[in-house]
Amino acid sequence: MIEAELKARVQDVESVRAALSVRDAGQRSRYQDTYYDLRDGGLSVEGRELRLRTITADNERRSLLTYKEPAVDTASGSKPEYETEVADPSVIDSVLRGLGLIDLISFEKHCVNYRFECEGRELVATLVTVPELDGTFIELETMVSESELAQALEVVRTALHQLGITDSDLTTEQYTDAVLATRRASELP
């Protein structure tokens, strides 16, 4: 399956939050993400991602291992995604490190997830703040087959417009790159 997703910077957070709250109550959660790579950076260079995520929401914790292939749509960055729940993230971390992978970056995201329908598609909108980055982001996604990608992205774009997000707000910048850049800048004399 492909994660048909568009991501944007939110200019008017309260307005977007209000528009989302009409559609769903939303669920607050904290994501602790660790991205892994080969020692030579090969996964990143190829546009692949391997992520171990622990989600804490409503006093519950669960962990997911996610592998994303290179983008099949460069304008949106939409990627084929494979995900599975893991019982013990420390075991997966040990396995990945034992196989020679390195911890590329770890960071935290604060999220509110809203689930709703638009034009017959189940969508998930996530309002995201990353403590190390300025601003609030929205990710709007649905899972589809490759043959449905173009149509699904149009539905996602329509839903974003309905929330007050314009095409000029869209970004393909990844959190990993932005957090790495912020950390590097803070190390400069």
Q: Say how many residues make up the chain.
A: 189
96 touches 77 (CB < 8 A): no
Strands 60-68 and 49-57: antiparallel
Q: How far is CA 180 from the centre of its chain?
A: 16
Whole-number pLDDT of residue 18? 98
DSSP-derived letter for residue 69 is P
Domain limits of the chain? 2-187
Assigned token pair, 138 = 């929205």
Q: Looking at residue 189, what is its pLDDT?
A: 78
Residue pair 16/125 in contact (Cβ under 8 Å)? The answer is no
Domain 2-187 fold is Hypothetical Protein Pfu-838710-001 (2.40.320)
DSSP string, 138-184: EEEEEEE-GGGHHHHHHHHHHHHHHTT--GGGEE---HHHHHHHHHH
- Confidence at residue 146, expressed as pLDDT on a 0 to 100 scale: 93
Q: Which two tokens stand for residue 135?
A: 């601003």
Question: Taking the chain (189 residues) in consecutive chunks of 10 residues, what is each chunk's mean pLDDT?
Answer: 97 98 97 98 96 96 98 94 98 98 98 97 98 97 96 97 97 95 90
Q: Please tell me the predicted confidence (pLDDT) of residue 188.
A: 84
User: Scanning the structure block, which residue is given the tokens 């994501």?
Assistant: 31
> What pLDDT was estimated at residue 69?
97
Q: How far apart are the first and last CA of the chain?
A: 45
